[in-house]
Amino acid sequence: MKKTGAEIIVESLKEEKIECMFGYPGGVVIPIFHHLFNAPFKFILARHEQGAVHAADGYARASGRVGVCIATSGPGATNLVTGIATANMDSVPLVIFTGQVSREMIGNDAFQEADITGITRPITKHNYLVQDINDLARTIKEAFYIASTGRPGPVVIDVPVDISKGETKFHYPEKAVIRSYKPVTEGHPRQIQKACRLIESSKRPVIYSGGGVIISNASEELRNFVKKTGIPITTTLMGLGAYPETDPLSLKMLGMHGTYYANHAVNECDLLIAVGARFDDRVTGKVSEFATGAQVIHIDIDPSSVQKSVEVDVPIVGDCRLVLAEINKSVKAPQIGPWVDRLMKMKAENPLNYRDSESVIKPQYVVEKIDELTEGKAIICTEVGQNQMWAAQFYDYTEPRSFISSGGLGTMGYGFPAAIGAQLARPDSRVFDIAGDGSIQMNIQEMIVAVQHRLPIIITILNNGFLGMVRQWQQLFWDKRYSHTCINFQPDFVKLAEAYGAMGIRVDHKKDVVPALQKALSVTDRPIVLDIHVDREENVYPIIPAGKSVKEMITSELI
Amino acid sequence: MSQHVISVKVENRAGVLARVAGLFSARGYNIDSLAVSETEQTDVSVMTIVVRGDDRVIEQVKKQLNKLIDVIKISEHNLVTSVQRELALIKVNASPAKRAEIYQLGEIFRAEIVDISRKTITLEVTGEPDKIDNLIELLRPYVIKELIRTGRLSLAKEKE
């Protein structure tokens, strides 16, 4: 029996056993929506396509599954662009359907036409313009395979409306066979042995673990590796939660806003073991002065990440989980007692800190209280800026997929829709969006989606009336000229929450922070907005200015 | 910045050229020459790309090319390990009195005369890029009216 292209899409998604799809309708995707109407999986109607794609992304990061979303042609598709780029930078598996005008109209400046495969070419792992209905099912199979294997990423499938309306026999292939795409997952045995010997003879080793460990579900292998070798470990922003930050060997986060001791450990180490991390500029600062005395082992599934910004002595291309498991089989613990003692002393003497106050609420205090009241078991989504860094610094992450944030692209407005996706993926977890008063306004329209689906997301606005991170840079590096970063002309967030049918609580005093959080945690049937008015000019410390080295780290007055 | 000759085997499909070219243009690199054609397998095309760039950046571009789903194989070629050819069509001013000189020059380079008019001669020449450059230089004094040359083709030599 023949099926239409639209039916083939829905049937293929059923074959992929998706639980949930995000999107927004429009003219050329009506045929597809016609069949989504009674699809057996959940469909979440966003209020802006950007909300849909970020929600699919949050769903993917929280669950480890492929996120799926759909938008119409033209503006629908272009509204996805920021979300696609966000997912691409952070290696998030997404399959994104866009409608396209009918094939004979392509290139004619038709109504709501945009060349979305052209636009998204540099920000997707791969994309397709379906030209023949007989290719449709195979294309979807390939898209899921490409999105979720190797270094994951977003794949766009652009479907002209006449393809959706056309008919053919449906057959969903069992396997995707792509001759030019065969990601290497097993590390080379000789390289692995080389790495083991280097580790065993090292005197001052440090593990630098990134998002790849979380993506490849290698957290357990990483923990075993640390247990076996006793090597101290620091993680990137994307790697938070892969190793419990409550453990003494955890040096917490490194990089621009990383801890004093993590950055000094990396600077002084003789062996840097990078696992699923890509030596991003926010981690290395000035590359020529980064870990200059260290030999480098780099485990990564993406060969183009290796030798990209730093010289690597032992590259191992492969899946972090498989490679670490192999290393764990044969590696022996190095003799590093004095080094570990020194780092532990440095850690005790230079903790992350802030000067607390009774008269104003410190944003760091709020994050600490969230950690305390949730016993570190919440899923923390963040926006981008100071809120993101405080969320990273002052909450001790102990589990993978518990910190969800736009690391690579740094997309303001990501956190809240991502929280929607995360809450749908993990209904039994408490999900927070730690936000700023700037970024929360970028996708606030999605509030109604959270209300509609009774998602008890706790939106914690660290409200300082500033675009705080930019203001901080203006203060430190641009003569305190606060050009257009003061945004204290703002809506009443409590009334706004109420208008959407969410709960809103304004907090102005320190003593009210804990009760407000407790109140929020007691609500389970709708989102809660905590509008917490914090110290307006609090800064994120430590900070290594962009392009500088650890020597130029600016710490808070307390270190 | 040194010149690199990169041979890329790709799936013969729409959009592949844009993906490949995008990796160069995104870094502000201008492709000096480009030749694309089908191969002995009709579903495979080969692109020969000549580009000038920092060795380290080119190395990174090659890795990124490898990451493209439609790219099957990449190799870097040089004149020792591969046969490289270009073809040029050169229309040069030639009054009847100068025809013989130009004809002789062409012969030395084994160029063919493919068009002749009262005022011009058009030569077709193939060979390694240097040879073509040399002929062009020798023809300049006669005033070249129009010049066009193909992208470089490069085929790896069979290893013994």
Tell whether A185 lies on the interface with B, counting CB pairs under 8 A. no
According to CATH, where is 3.30.70.1150 located in chain B?
83-156
Q: Is B105 exposed, middle or buried (0-12, 13-18, 19+ CB in 10 A)?
A: middle
* Residue A227 DSSP code: H
Q: Which pLDDT value is given to residue A179?
A: 93
Dump pLDDT digits (tens) for B60-90: 889 999 999 999 999 999 989 999 999 999 9
Q: Which pLDDT value is given to residue A559?
A: 58
**pLDDT greater than 70 at residue A487:** yes
Nearest to B72 among A122, A126, A180 (CB): A180
Do A146 and B69 lie within an 8 Å CB cutoff? yes
Say how far apart CA A232 and CA A343 lie, in whole Å.
Answer: 8
The alpha-carbon gap from A128 to the nearest alpha carbon of chain B, in Å, equals 9
Rounded mean pLDDT of B108-112?
96
Structure ipTM over 0.95, yes or no: no
Rounded mean pLDDT of A166-180?
96
**C-alpha angle with apex A314: A313 to A320, nearest 5 degrees?**
140
Rounded mean pLDDT of B29-55?
93
* Residue A301 DSSP code: S
In this structure, which CATH number among 3.30.300.130, 3.90.1010.10, 3.40.50.970, 3.40.720.10 belongs to the domain A2-169?
3.40.50.970
Rounded mean pLDDT of A109-132?
97
Report the residue of A180, A302, A310, A312 to disrupt the B interface, i.e. the one with the largest count of B CBs within 10 Å. A180
**pLDDT greater than 80 at residue B160:** no
According to CATH, where is 3.40.50.970 located in chain A?
2-169, 363-537
Architecture of the domain defined by B2-77: 2-Layer Sandwich (3.30)
Nearest to B72 among A122, A129, A179 (CB): A179
Q: Which pLDDT value is given to residue A32?
A: 98
Dump pLDDT digits (tens) for A279-314: 999 999 999 999 999 999 999 999 988 888 899 999
What b/e sequence results for A108-119 when a residue is b if at least 16 CB atoms lie within 10 Å of its CB, and e otherwise? Answer: eebebbbebbeb
Dump pLDDT digits (tens) for A362-384: 999 999 999 999 999 999 999 99
Which superfamily, per CATH, for B83-156? Answer: ACT-like. Chain A, domain 2 (3.30.70.1150)
Do A180 and B59 lie within an 8 Å CB cutoff? no
Report the residue of A304, A305, A317 to disrupt the B interface, i.e. the one with the largest count of B CBs within 10 Å. A304
**pLDDT greater than 90 at residue A100:** yes
The alpha-carbon gap from B133 to the nearest alpha carbon of chain A, in Å, equals 36
Which superfamily, per CATH, for A363-537? Answer: Thiamin diphosphate (ThDP)-binding fold, Pyr/PP domains (3.40.50.970)
Rounded mean pLDDT of A392-414?
98
Q: Which pLDDT value is given to residue A315?
A: 97
Residue with the two structure tokens 């060969």: A303
User: Which residues of chain A are within 8 Å of residue B10 when distances are taken between CB atoms?
Assistant: 180
According to CATH, where is 3.30.70.260 located in chain B?
2-77
Which superfamily, per CATH, for A189-349? Answer: TPP-binding domain (3.40.50.1220)
Q: Which residues contact A449 (CB under 8 A, 6 or more apart)?
A: A44, A45, A46, A47, A51, A55, A420, A455
